Amino acid sequence: GKGGYDHYMLKEIHSQPDALTDTLSGRVNPGDGGVAFESLPDGAFADVEQVRLVACGTSYHASLAGARLLRQAGIPAHAELASEFSLPESADDTLAVAVTQSGETADTLGAVRAAADAGAQTLAVTNVVGSTAARECDDALFIRAGPEIGVAATKTFTSQVATLSLLSRRIAADVGADAPGDAGILDGLDALPGDVRDVTTGDAARAIANRYRGSDAYFFIGRGAAHSVALEGALKFKEITYEHAEGFAAGELKHGPLALVTPDTPVFAIFTGDGDEQTLTNVEEVQSRGAPVVAVAPDGHPAVDVADDHLPIPDTVPTCASLLAAVQLQLLSYHAAELLDRAIDKPRNLAKSVTVQ
């Protein structure tokens, strides 16, 4: 059942501390920071020279974060939309990672099958044991988020990114890459369940949703670790409110989207400690066109003084801060949809699992 919540989505947002605890449990050696996955033999990725993550929708946004972490760890990696995936005839040096909550998304299965045909090693990162992706790929890595009923992916997004953070360390260790990666990520992940609880027990998102209801459009911007969360924040907002929402790389605004910005288009700017000074410049650009800005940032961050409103997140490393911002934006979308009396758990035109290409 909904466990006392009005919607599965809200229950699932609030269950993220427990989901993340399960995702991470027993996978990091506290001594040396090494990562071990129950289902994967040691050295499983020793021959990998590059990684292609294939996914759709929210899982694609998680993949963008995963690819970025892999590159920071010194591994060539890209996230690609499964429906647009193509690769060279021979891909023997490639690990293709299907990132899919359900493990049944036709576009994602099609992409990972094409990768296998080209000789790639394949890995499913999925929530569903026994799913098609888990069965068909060479290996499977489970995100352990628990069943997700709401059509809008929430807890599976944060658990996917947490899993991919560990996977990037594991691949780096297997191939002997020595780049430092995201410094402090293990401490950040350790604190993440508690930090998420700080966000879910707050009430800022509801007030902001109410303040900006009836706007012409809602824009979300971020760079670095915050870019994928800007895209995800907009996807969540549009799919359950039916309002126009777009996510942009903060630096791209001035290359076109700025033409859309007016006093009736609130801009949610995400600050994760990754290129924040430049994003502040982008905030000034939209404010000078009259747009109200909501800073998603830690208390005391310089953006809080500049912005018109604030959605607070705990102060932590960029990847974890981006997940805390994602949780604030899940709550924002939820409350905005509730104010509009939308069918939150089953938005119009959408299905939980998309099994046609």
Provide CB contacts within 8 A for 156, sequence distance 6+.
Answer: 58, 59, 101, 127, 143, 145, 148
Catalytic one of 155, 238, 254, 352: 352
Which positions from 206 through 265 interact with ligand M6R, judged by CB under 6 A? 239
Which positions from 279 through 338 interact with ligand M6R, judged by CB under 6 A? none
Smallest gap from Cβ 157 to ligand M6R, in A, equals: 8
At 266 the three-state DSSP class reads: coil
352 is catalytic: yes
Work out whether 152 is an interface residue with ligand M6R (CB under 6 A). Answer: yes
Work out whether 153 is an interface residue with ligand M6R (CB under 6 A). Answer: yes
Work out whether 353 is an interface residue with ligand M6R (CB under 6 A). Answer: yes
Q: Which is nearer to ligand M6R, 69 or 98 (CB)?
A: 98
Provide CB contacts within 8 A for 236, sequence distance 6+.
Answer: 58, 152, 154, 329, 330, 333
CA angle 65, 183, 225 (to 5 degrees): 25
Q: Which amino acid is present at 197?
A: R
Smallest gap from Cβ 233 to ligand M6R, in A, equals: 11
Work out whether 57 is an interface residue with ligand M6R (CB under 6 A). Answer: yes
Provide CB contacts within 8 A for 209, sequence distance 6+.
Answer: 332, 335, 336, 338, 339
Work out whether 108 is an interface residue with ligand M6R (CB under 6 A). Answer: yes
Work out whether 111 is an interface residue with ligand M6R (CB under 6 A). Answer: no
222, β-bridge pairs: 249
Smallest gap from Cβ 105 to ligand M6R, in A, equals: 3
Q: Which is nearer to ligand M6R, 57 or 233 (CB)?
A: 57
Q: Which is nearer to ligand M6R, 186 or 196 (CB)?
A: 196
- CB–CB of 133/100 below 8 Å? yes
Q: Which of 23, 94, 102, 279 binds ligand M6R (CB under 6 A)?
A: 102
Work out whether 50 is an interface residue with ligand M6R (CB under 6 A). Answer: no
Q: Which is nearer to ligand M6R, 165 or 330 (CB)?
A: 330
296, β-bridge pairs: 270, 311
CA pseudo-torsion sign 21, 15, 232, 222: negative
139, β-bridge pairs: 123
The footprint of ligand M6R (CB under 6 A) covers 56-59, 100-102, 105, 108, 151-153, 239, 353-354
Active site residues: 352
